[in-house]
Amino acid sequence: EGVGPQEYTLVKLKALEPKPKIFDGIQKPIYFVAATLRPETMYGQTNCYLHPDISYSAFYIGADEAQIFVGTARSARNMAFQDMTKEFGKVNFVKGLESFKGSEILGAPLMAPLSSYERVFALPMLTIKDDKGTGVVTSVPSDSPDDLAALNDLKKKKPLREKYGITDDMVLPFEPIPIINIPDIGDLAAVHMVQLLKIESQNEKDKLEEAKSRVYLKGFYEGKMLVGKYKGMLTADAKKLIHADLVDSKEAMKYVE
């Protein structure tokens, strides 16, 4: 990985009803928080990913502890040192929710800011790392080959859905949304690359690396927004503006690691 700190947009996906059983009795709003380097792609969110076997935690955020975030304990500690908790450097976990497996909250309905889908669902992704970001990944299959490959796996494999208690309605209606145009690649960059390289699953590491290297650099410098407030603008310019808008509307925070 690179040297020095990386700045992310911490996007807040609000847990909707019915909430997972383990959250019974909690009154405060609960957010699954995803670290992304691409805030301008949030228009294209179709779901959220968790690793079924990674340990997550629920912890209080803000001086008034009015909100609850879900992420890895490691990310909670980082947030505590970024002045996001009541007491600097200290994490207050929700009692009984210090540690639980991703599998316990899969299938949760969520509100994803800027997405054209009113509600999206928490789905399993087996390539999520526990030592990066929050362990929660928001999914933009139009522009991320990893996200698309994992969604395609779930669409194609009913046993995979069943294994994690994911019902058809949480997966099958969700299609990649055209949000960015990249010259010579098109309006659905990841879909194009996944087809071109014949990527069949989220486990095809080398092919996915290749797809990403082809899409990202060009997307960053030549991509143009197709939707939203900054339609027509280069993605490189829209990125900072959309990050700032999401922070202003309290739908995201800045997060560094």
Footprint of ligand A2H (CB under 6 A): 6, 35-38, 41, 128-129, 132-133, 135, 137-140, 143-144, 147
State which residue, 78 or 139, has the beta carbon closest to ligand A2H: 139
Q: Which is nearer to ligand A2H, 119 or 212 (CB)?
A: 212
Taking CB atoms, the residue at the shortest distance from ligand A2H is 133
| Shortest reach from residue 33's CB to ligand A2H, in Å | 11
* Interior angle at CA 48, CA 44 and CA 53, nearest 5: 155
What is the C-alpha to C-alpha distance for residues 42 and 11, in angstroms, rounded to an integer? 9
Minimum CB distance to ligand A2H, residue 39 (Å) = 8
To the nearest 10 degrees (0 to 180), the angle between helices 205-222 and 145-156 is 130
Nearer to ligand A2H, 132 or 218 (CB): 132
Please identify, using beta-carbon distances, which residue of 97 and 137 lies nearer to ligand A2H.
Answer: 137
Residue 15 Cβ vs ligand A2H, minimum distance, rounded to whole Å: 19
Q: Is beta strand 30-36 parallel, antiparallel or unpaired with respect to 47-50?
A: unpaired
Is the CB of 28 or the CB of 220 nearer to ligand A2H?
Answer: 220
Give CA separation, 204 vs 6, 131, 138, 213, in Å.
26, 21, 20, 14
Closest distance to ligand A2H from the beta carbon of 27 (Å): 29
How crowded is residue 31: how many other Cβ atoms within 10 Å of its Cβ?
Answer: 24
Q: How far is the CB of 56 from ligand A2H (least distance, A)?
A: 11
Structure token pair of residue 189: 């960059």
User: Quick one: how far is CA 24 from the chain centroid?
Assistant: 24
